[in-house]
């Protein structure tokens, strides 16, 4: 049996508006700091309407470093699920120093989602705002869509299938790619 097609989304910088400082983005640390990009909910709804599995895969090292309680992250993800129809949220709390295969650019969260949702990663997509998101997807065969938020202190990926400026553009690219794949399959 062939697995399902999924879109694996990074959280901060894709759906959630991060804090920007010193050319980088930082995840919100308090529930009252959590806000979503204006196109986040409509984009996830469009992906779901196209029959795609939607999974969020997010590194949250502030938990592992003791700067944020896991209950705060869980409350953020509850609010995210209330706002948009994501199928699952995979979280890695490893810091860079304690990183396992689960922490992006490792592909552990992607593999976990694939097992849990019968996903064929080689026909799936990853959408992220960092090179580590794209690299994690590359490790398991996902087509990467890079949202270039203009971070100046980070290296941009080079192996993505597409580069866009907004989540809505990433969604449009994925839906066009899916339509092209379906036309070829006929």
Decide: helix, strand or coil at residue 158: coil
Could you give the CA distance from residue 96 to residue 109 in angstroms, rounded to a whole number? Answer: 16
Token pair in block for residue 182 = 């379906």
Decide: helix, strand or coil at residue 172: helix
Helix (H) or strand (E) holding 24: strand 24-26
Q: What is the arithmetic mean of pLDDT over 155-160?
A: 96
pLDDT at 186: 84
Residue 160 has pLDDT above 80, yes or no: yes
Among candidates 8, 26, 14, which has minimal Cα distance to 147?
14
Check: CB of residue 73 under 8 Å from CB of residue 28: no
Convert the pLDDT of each residue in 9-20 to its tens digit.
999 999 999 999
Per-residue 3-state assignment (H helix, E strand, C coil) for 116-145: HHCECHHHCEEEECCHHHHHHHHHHCCEEE
Residue 1 has pLDDT above 70, yes or no: no
pLDDT at 11: 98
pLDDT at 4: 97
pLDDT at 164: 98
Decide: helix, strand or coil at residue 6: strand
**How confident is residue 89, by pLDDT bands cut at 50, 70 and 90?**
very high
Domains, in order of start, for the chain? 6-185 (3.40.50.1000)
Token pair in block for residue 119 = 């996903």
Q: In 45-124, where do the E strands start and end?
A: 53-59, 88-92
Q: What is the arithmetic mean of pLDDT over 60-84?
A: 97
Q: Does a cis peptide bond (omega within 30 degrees of 0) precede residue 105? A: yes
């Amino acid at each position: 049996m062939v697995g399902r097609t999924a879109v694996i989304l990074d959280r901060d910088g894709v759906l959630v508006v991060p804090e920007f400082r010193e050319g980088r983005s930082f995840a919100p640390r308090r529930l009252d700091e959590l806000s979503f990009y204006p196109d986040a909910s409509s984009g996830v709804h469009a992906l779901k309407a196209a029959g795609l599995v939607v999974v969020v895969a997010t590194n949250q090292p502030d938990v592992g470093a003791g700067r944020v309680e896991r209950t705060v992250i869980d409350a953020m993800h509850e609010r995210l699920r209330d706002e948009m129809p994501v199928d699952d949220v995979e979280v890695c709390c490893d810091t860079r120093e304690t990183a396992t295969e689960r922490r992006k650019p490792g592909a552990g969260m992607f593999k976990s989602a694939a097992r849990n949702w019968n996903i064929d990663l080689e026909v799936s997509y990853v959408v992220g705002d960092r090179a580590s998101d794209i690299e994690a997807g590359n490790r398991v065969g996902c087509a990467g869509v890079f949202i270039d938020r203009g971070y100046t202190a980070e290296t941009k990926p080079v192996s993505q299938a597409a580069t866009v400026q907004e989540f809505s553009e990433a969604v449009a690219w994925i839906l066009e790619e899916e339509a092209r794949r379906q036309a070829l399959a006929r």
